[in-house]
Amino acid sequence: MFWLTSILVLLHLTRGNSPCFGRSLQISPSRTQFFKRESLTLCCGADERIMTNSKSACSHKSHECNITLAGVHHSGSYWCDSNSGELGEAVNITVTEGSVILGSPVHPVPEGSPVTLRCLTSHKSNVVKPINESCTFSRNGLLIGVGLTGEMSFAAVNRSHKGLYTCTFSGVESPGSWLAVRATSSTESPPPTNHHLLLPLVYAGPPLLLMVLLGIVGGCCWRKSRKEAEEAASEDEVHADVVQNKTKKKERDRSDCESTCSYGESLQPQPIRIPDPPLYSLLGSNRSLQSVADTKCEQLWPPDKNFKR
C-alpha cells in the first residue's frame, strides 16, 4: 500500500497542473472562449505536437503550450498531430476583448449526457467569474431561454441540441461557441433489464409457440384437404360430362340409324304387278280353255292388219 501511494504522489508531482491526458487536445481552463490577457494551457499526448492555423507561437514546437497573456491573435483552430500523421479533432478557441463570454464543453458530448452552459464575465483584475444574474441564451441566433442564475442546463442532450450558442448579459452578447453532440457507441452496455417483466414471457412463451405451430399445421392440413376435395369434385364433374356425352352420342347414332333404315326401306323398288283379269270373266259358260288363251294373246299382241298369212 505504501508503494502504491508513493507512485501516485510521484505521478502527481511529475504531472503538476498539466491537463495532458488522452489522445485529444486538452485545454485548461476547460472552455473555448477566453478574455484578453487571460492565461491558458494547451496539451496533446506525449508523442504528439500541437498544431494551429492561428498566429500563436505554440504550433509545431511541443505537445504542451502555455499562453500567459492571451491576445486576439491566439484565436483559431488547434489540434494534435501525431508522428504517424494522424490528426486529432480540431478545437476552435476564441479570445475576445469584450466583457461577456460563454462557458461550454470543449469536445462533442455523447447523446444523453447532461450539459450546462454558463455566462461568464471579467473584472479589471482579470478575474473570471460566473454571472449570478439573469442572462438570455440563444441557439443559431434564436432565443431559447433565460437563465436566472446565469446558467442553462440540459438534462440529456440529443442531436437537436447541437448548434451555435451565445449568451447575453446587460445587453452584451458573448461570442458564439459550437455545441457538438455525437451518437453513443453501439458497443456500450445496454441499460439493465428488469427480469421481473420477463417472467410472464418466459412462462407464457412455450404455450403460445405451441399454439402458433398447431395453428400453422392445422391450416396446412385444412388447405390440403380442401384442395383434394376440389380436385375430386372436378374429376367427378368431368366423368359425368363424359358419360353424358357418350349417352347423347349413342342416342343420336341410334336415331340416325333408325331414320336411315326407315328411309332405305321406303326407297326399295316394289315390283309392278298387273292384275290378271279373272278367269271367270274370260270363261263363259260355253267357252273352252283354248279360246280363252287365244283371247288373252290377242289382248297382249293385237294382230297386225297389214300382215298377210
Domains and CATH numbers, the chain: 16-97 (2.60.40.10), 98-183 (2.60.40.10)
Q: Tell me: pLDDT of 242 over 70.
A: no
Task: Average the pLDDT over 199-217 and give the result.
Answer: 70
pTM of structure: 0.54
C-beta separation of 136 from 143 below 8 A: yes
The model's pLDDT over 74-95, given as tens digits with 9 standing for 90+, comes to 999 999 988 777 788 899 999 9
- Whether 42 contacts 54, CB under 8 Å: no
What pLDDT, on a 0 to 100 scale, did the predictor assign at position 301?
58
Within 8 A by CB and 6+ apart from 76, the residues are: 52, 53, 54, 55, 56, 92, 93
- The string of pLDDT tens digits covering residues 155-183 is 999 999 999 999 999 999 999 999 999 98
Query: Average pLDDT for residues 9-17, to the nearest whole number?
Result: 43
Residue 254 grid coordinates: 341410334
Q: How many CB atoms lie within 10 A of CB 178?
A: 13
The most confident of the ranges 62-76, 200-214, 240-254 is: 62-76
Q: Which CA distances in Å does 135 have to 96, 188, 227?
A: 19, 37, 79
Report yes or no: 11 and 152 within 8 Å, Cβ to Cβ. Answer: no
Q: CB of 137 within 8 A of CB of 151?
A: no
User: Which residues, in sequence order, are CB contacts of 120 under 8 Å at separation 6+?
Assistant: 33, 100, 101, 102, 103, 128, 129, 130, 131
* Model confidence band, residue 150 (pLDDT cutoffs 50, 70, 90): very high
Q: How confident is the model at residue 293 (pLDDT cuts 50, 70, 90)?
A: low
